[in-house]
Amino acid sequence: MLDIRFIKENLEAVRQNIRDRYMDADVDLAISLYDKKNALLREIEESRRCRNENAQAMKSNLSKEERSIRIEEGKRLKETIARLEAELQEVEAAFAEELAKIPNMAHPQAPRGKEDKDNLEVKRVGSPTQFSFPPKDHVELGQSLDILDFDTATKVSGTKFYYLKNEGTILELALVRYALDMLSKHGFTLMTTPDIAKTEILEGIGFNPRGAESNVYTLEGEGTCLIGTAEITLGGYHSDSVLEKDQLPIRYAGISHCFRREAGAAGQFSKGLYRVHQFTKVEMFVYCLPEESEPIHEELRLIEEEVFSSLDIPFRVVETCTGDLGAPAYRKWDLEAWMPGRNNGEWGEITSTSNCTDYQARRLNVRYRDKDGKNRFVHMLNGTAIACSRAIIAILENHQQADGSVKIPKALVPYCGFDLIRPHRI
């Protein structure tokens, strides 16, 4: 969340930022509730002072009539304080709710726009793959290679689930291990995270676990949810903590399953593995000093580029426009791979990396102790190293051969133990 003092001092800039992001947040209501909260706190403090004075007066020699008056005054003050405290509780909850709706400020260079078509291409690595034969999409390839089974998964689990089989299972494990080896060399601490997190951790990270539009699977009666990304569990790792300055930056690489409802995600761009309810991902997460977050954000993007360059996947880097940014993100880059089977050849998102500055840290109360002994909020960043389902799409579609086989990228061969996946049936 944003600091309320920052909001009050930069009111028009905050209003404009909300407009740029096409979000629904009432800054004036948040400020009004904040002021009301402070007024109630002052009123409670004054009532408590009067109650204490009244209690002290009760200890002196009083006539029966004076004591009776003091007793009635004590009852009145007790009722007043209880009423004010109940009202304060309601106002604090309303203020927290309104403050949480206000998004992070967007980077000045973030493109102003409403949706993903307004994102800005900033870099291209490789050229769209050319074939001497009509290329297949990953669904057809996966079935002919006998490494993907959507039909049985639909019968067992429902739509947007899948079985990986044979070399497909090995390929996913190879991608995970390859990403972990690369991140280890970059100084990341490797972690396997829980697949479940408490609701308050999701809310702190900026996910909405409630309502029809939520993308989150909640566990009824448990106060917990299935995570949509290890960003949640890695971001919650140091919640309510004070880190030492010399510990920073802290770099984590987390493996998890990811669960997403994908409400409303229908159509051709959701075909096959592109939008599924469950997938495996290796996520990067960094806690750092405020002055480090912009260069570290660049570092995360370059690691993503290193991963997919080494897999011989053509991709482009796009900067996300303000309307397509999630509320916590200050700046976000996506890598989009060339997917020959997507609408006869299109770019499709394979990774993203976001600098969330201190927005999540304020909500999760993650601070560091500076050289003067003051506690300040850290900056928090996240980035996808490998989302296995989409990486598999890019590998199958870009490395397919005329005979229906798929070549394994050279960098993955030592991890797979084979260099080619051949059709099991045609």
Catalytic residues: 260, 275, 349, 352, 390
Residue 177 DSSP symbol? H
Q: If we measure between CA atoms, which residue out of 386, 189, 136, 406 comes closest to residue 279?
A: 386
**From CA 51, how far away is CA 72, in angstroms rounded?**
11
User: How far apart are the C-alpha atoms of 221 and 414, rounded to whole Å?
Assistant: 46
To which residue do tokens 């930022």 refer?
17
Position 297, amino acid: H
DSSP letters for 234-267: HHTTTTTEEEEGGG-SEEEEEEEEEE---TT--S
Element (H, E) at 357: none
| Cβ neighbours for 164, distance < 8 A, ≥ 6 positions apart | 147, 148, 171, 172
* Eight-class DSSP state of 136: P
**CA neighbor of 185 nearest in space, from 251, 125, 247:** 251
Show Cβ contacts of residue 263 under 8 Å, excluding neighbours closer than 6 positions: 212, 213, 214, 215
Asked whether the beta carbons of 361 and 289 are under 8 A apart, the reply is: no
CA 379, CA 366: separation in Å to the nearest integer? 9
